[in-house]
Amino acid sequence: MMTCQEVSTLMSTGDLPRASLTCRLGVGFHLAMCRHCRAFRRQLEAIGRAARALSATFDAEPPTAFEADMIQRLLR
Amino acid sequence: MAHLGERVLARLRRRDPDALREIVDEHARPLYRAARGMGFTIDEAEDLTQDVFVTFIESLERFEGRAQIGTWLFGILHHKAQERWRSRARDELNDPIDTAFAAQFDTRGKWIRPPTMPDRAVSAREAREAIRDCLEGLPPLQREVFQLRQVEDRSAADVGNVLAQTVTHIGVLLHRARMRLRACLEGKGWTNSS
């Protein structure tokens, strides 16, 4: 069975989708058995959600004419 | 993600306003958002976005259209950001966060201090403020990788092309960024592993 360190590292590096089928199955099996690694995965998800929510506030910052103004400046 | 066809490329080289509008409309806001996510101020992010398009237009003669346009534009953004960061963007080979992470496991690879579920009572606004503070503590390259991978949802291969890094190293940088953020958020009592 894979260790918590191996599983959490694979999840954190984002390498899991590119890992072999055997490896992905091993991670799935480990997660089914280990609540600590499931908690770790939830933490990563929460970090991602908060970062995307912060980023969404940046989207609202530029005025509606942002793109149009930029094109005007580029065409000068 | 779109590749630029020869015809579009030819129109852009002629400064065709419609072709330019298409590119700007699709990419200006993601570039601005990424610049803000990397820690630049509102004014700096606007300037950077403008700079990216100026450089893009100037470099159209060298652009063969085979690369994905988003990759090309984010690559320019990366170089512009590095110019502004200068030496701050140095990538550390030995990052203390790796040791801190390894120290959370025993010799059999089991958690010594098991993580607990994130606190659901934390409001969305508190979470945004907490992550904003914690992002400030990331080294620039880790912050950039985190922004492009986690927020912009770009693939590891694409981010590797943008930053001229191997896919493996992109994974290492994302891991370090996430573990730094996790440690910082633990300090704020938002996620904890006590």
In chain A, the percentage of residues whose pLDDT exceeds 70 is 100
Partner B contacted by A64 (CB < 8 A): no
Predicted confidence band at B106 (pLDDT cuts at 50, 70, 90)? very high
Q: What's the pLDDT score for residue B193?
A: 47
Residues of A with CB below 8 A from B29's CB? 59, 62, 66-67
Mean of pLDDT over chain B = 87
Domain positions in chain A are 4-75
- The mean pLDDT value for A65-72 works out to 90
Check A61 against B49: CB less than 8 A apart.
Answer: no
Q: How far is B82 from chain A (nearest CA, A)?
A: 21
Considering only CB atoms, B28 lies closest to which of A46, A57, A70, namely A70
Q: What is the mean pLDDT of residues B61-75?
A: 81
Q: What is the largest CA-CA distance in chain B?
A: 63
* Residue B108 banded pLDDT, cuts 50, 70, 90: very high
The torsion defined by the Cα of B63, B68, B70 and B76, in degrees rounded to 10, comes to -40
B6-88 against B92-187: fold identical: no
Tell me which residue has tokens 């573990």: B179
**CB within 8 Å of B23: residues ≥ 6 apart:** B12, B53, B56, B69
**Alpha carbon distance B12, B134 (integer Å):** 40
Q: Spell out the residues 6+ positions from residue B138 whose beta carbon is closer than 8 angstroms to its own.
A: B146, B177, B180, B181
pLDDT(B194) > 70: no
Query: Which pLDDT value is given to residue B44?
Result: 92
Looking at residues A52-64, what average pLDDT do you find? 91
> What's the pLDDT at A49?
93
Domain B6-88, CATH number (from 1.10.1740.10, 3.30.1600.10, 1.10.3720.10, 3.40.720.10): 1.10.1740.10
* Residue with token string 């950001």: B81
Measure in Å the smallest separation between the Cα of B151 and chain A Cα atoms: 5
pLDDT per residue as tens digits for the range B10-29: 888 888 889 899 899 999 99
- What CATH architecture does domain B92-187 belong to? Orthogonal Bundle (1.10)
Instruction: Please tell me the distance in Å from A63's CA to the nearest CA on chain B.
Output: 11
Per domain, the residue ranges of chain B are: 6-88, 92-187
Q: Tell me the one-letter amino acid at B140.
A: P
Give the count of Cβ contacts less than 8 A between chain A and B.
Answer: 135
